[in-house]
Each structure stands twice: as structure tokens, then as C-alpha cells.
Amino acid sequence: MHARHLRRFLASFLLLAVLVLPACGATSGGPIKIYVSLPLQNPQGESVRKGIALALNQAGERAGEFPIVAVYRDNGNSSGQWDPAREEANAREARDDPDVMVYLGPLDSGAAAISIPITNRGGLAQISPGNTAPGLTKVGFQAGWPGEFYPTGRRNYFRVCPTDDVQGPAAALWAGRLGYRSVYILDDGELYGKGVADLFEEKAYDLGIEVKGRDRIDRTLSDFSALAEKVEQVRPDLVFLGGYTENGVPSVVKIIRETGMSVGIMVPDGAADSPFIEKAGQAAEGVLGTLVGAPPDKLTGDVGANFYESYKKVYGQEPESLAQFGYDAARVALDAIRRAGAKNRSTILDAIAATRDFAGTGGKFSFDRNGDTTLVAISGNRVTNHRFEFVSMLPPR
């Protein structure tokens, strides 16, 4: 072919390619899907789903000019525990659907370690309402982290709740302020449970609180009496249990109470929920619990108060502690889609990263360079008359 004709052919071909092929991460028209992956048989996960649905309903299922379709997927089993295979399958399904522009979830930090690299390779923005393990975004918590979660080199993961490098130390400070001088630390072995227990322990040493022992809760066991005997032998002032309700924490609390030990018990947000109280029964009375953020019924300001009252009106029940973050995550996604003004993953991802002074349920927040919220509020709560009652907001560090 003559050079002049070849140039003309190539120019025509390139023009056709530009007209036919969408930009990377973009689709042509139609509604935008927001994909949600949570343990829906878990009351906390279901409450977060309801918080997300409430936000979408209040927005009229729209973000700017785009109709919004929510796709809800369960990443857990019948006991409410998250399942690695399900989280992986959900992330892949979302990544491969060109209409999905945002992935909301998961609830558990260990699940996030599975899904983040998948959504990252797809250029898909991910916003979590409940992951608190700091190593998912912050350097210094484990070798290779967080880099291995972002194979493309571009951060695509955000979270609207404070992290355990705030919660763990705040819990230890609270323990010291309450007069506890020794502690036995337990964890469920998961990324979240072990991580928050490590951070509690580190701060306890700094405060001069004696750590009398450290052990693992084996969730496959039905009898935790041997674990309780270890605790009883050293007689600590306090037992700190890092882990999720579904991983045996209530059963451990019950057996410790049955020994007759006069010992304080403290749990972080993964167990500071209504299922913990239901499973632990009378043994739950007096248990201390920390929450990331304020309890839903203590939220102030227009957004927080509106969320709490609207949730109760729509669903006829109290929200679980993380439901407010599901609400915030969905609102952040809708706001970013509106500002982006395009059905394009890359553009929407940039818009989420640029979120500044967003009016959330716990106050205004921005995302820092790691994708974390600038909010650091932690609250202290105590089980009284079969429910976690607010005690006070805690110093963050």
C-alpha cells in the first residue's frame, strides 16, 4: 500500500476505534450499579445494609443524572461469619460488571484483605463501613503492607470509620482511667481481633498496666473452660477480648463469669453489639465495650440525628453500631458520582479521593492520602439492663 494511503487508512482506523471503544473504566449510558458485600445473616451486617438502603432511598435512588441500582450480596455463612470464598467471588463479580462503579464493603477487615487487590486491578472504588485494621492502608503494621493490596499502585480503597490504631490505645487508656492495673488479653486470631488486641497490649505496657497473659480464642471449640482456668490462675483485674461476636467471644465471657472471678471484661466494637448481649445473656451485664464513633442514639447534628430517627421510623428498630457508617459510605458514593458527572470508574474514584469536609453522621470529615477518614472519635460503653449504654467519649490516644 502506498505510504499516503497507509497513513489515511491508519487515521481512519484510529478515529473509528475512538468512536467505538469506551474509555477505560467507562460504559455508555444506563444506570450505575453500586455493589454491596456484607455478611447479611449477621445482625450487624444486615443493619449496615439497611443504613445503605436508607441513604439510597433518601436520594431517590439517583446520583445527579444517573439512576442508581444497588446489588446486595451476602459474603457470609448462616452463622454470620464472613466467608473468604464468597468475598472473593463477590469482588470478582463486581469487578467484571461494567455497570458497577462503586463497591461498598466488606464489614470485616480479613475480608477486605481479599477483596481490595481484586477491586484494585479493576480500577473499582471500594468504600468500607466497618474495616478497622490499620494495616490495610497504613505503613508499619506488617511487612509488605499495605502495598500488596494495591497491585496497580493506585489507591482505590476508602473507609468512613476510625481505625484500631485509635481504638486499641483508647481502650487501654480507658482501662487505666477506670483503675485496672493488670490485664489478660485474648484474641480470635483474625486480622481485626489480633490487631486490636496487639494495639491494646502495646498501649497497656506504655501505661504500666501489667499484661498477665495472652492467648487465642479457638472458635472451633464449644468448651472454653481450659481458657478460663488460665485466666483464673493469674487473677487479672481485667480481661480484654479482641474479636468478633461470631468467633466465640460471648461463650468465653460466660465461662469466665461462671468461675466466680471478680474481673472486669472489655470488648472492642467487633463484639460491642446486640448479638453479643443475646448470646452472653446475664454474663454480659457490666461488660465494657468501645465503639468507633458515638453510639447511634448519641449522634448529634442534622445528619446524625436525621439518620437515627429515619432508621427507627423506616425499620422500626434501633440501628446497630456500624449502620451509621453504611449510611455514610453510600452517601459518599452518591456524592462522588454526582460530582464526577460521568459513568467512569476512574473519574468516580478520583471524586471519592477528593472528598473534603463531607457532612457525615459523626461530623464533617475528609479522606486523607491513605483513604482513611479524618474522624478519630471513640466511645466507651457499658452493658446495663441488657444493652450497651453510652458512658463517655474517650481520648483517642
C-alpha cell at 33: 450499579
Q: CA-to-CA distance for 251 and 233, rounded, in angstroms?
A: 19
Res 30: pLDDT = 82
Res 76: pLDDT = 98
Q: CA-to-CA distance for 200 and 242, rounded, in angstroms?
A: 9
Indicate yes or no: pTM above 0.85.
yes
SS3 category, 395: coil
Where residue 281 falls (left for φ over 0; alpha for ψ -120 to 50; beta otherwise) is: left
pLDDT over 90 for what percent of the chain? 91
The residues, any chain, with a CB within 8 Å of residue 166's CB and separated by 6 or more, are 292, 376, 378, 396, 397
- Give yes or no for residue 48 having a pLDDT over 50: yes
Res 20: pLDDT = 36
User: How many other C-beta atoms lie within 10 A of the C-beta of residue 140?
Assistant: 10
The residues, any chain, with a CB within 8 Å of residue 168's CB and separated by 6 or more, are 195, 196, 197, 198, 199, 200, 202, 203, 268
Where residue 48 falls (left for φ over 0; alpha for ψ -120 to 50; beta otherwise) is: alpha
Q: CA-to-CA distance for 322 and 328, rounded, in angstroms?
A: 10
Average pLDDT over residues 82-111: 98
Residues in the chain: 397
Q: Domains in the chain, start-ordered, CATH in brackets?
A: 32-162+298-366 (3.40.50.2300), 164-292+379-394 (3.40.50.2300)
Compute φ and ψ for 144, nearest 5 degrees.
85, -10
Compute φ and ψ for 374, nearest 5 degrees.
-85, -5
Q: For residues 362-386, b (16+ Cβ closer than 10 Å) or e, as one string? A: bbebebeebbbbebbbbbbbbbeee
Bridge partners (DSSP) listed for residue 183: 211, 238
What is the number of alpha carbons within 13 Å of residue 10 lying toward its C-beta? Answer: 7
Q: Which residue has the cell 445503605?
A: 52
Res 66: pLDDT = 98
SS3 category, 393: strand
- Give yes or no for residue 1 having a pLDDT over 80: no
> Could you say which DSSP state residue 245 is in?
G
Higher pLDDT, 78 or 18: 78
Cβ contacts of 19-22, under 8 Å, gap ≥ 24: none
Read off the pLDDT of residues 167-195 as tens digits, 9 standing for 90 and up: 999 999 999 999 999 999 999 999 999 99
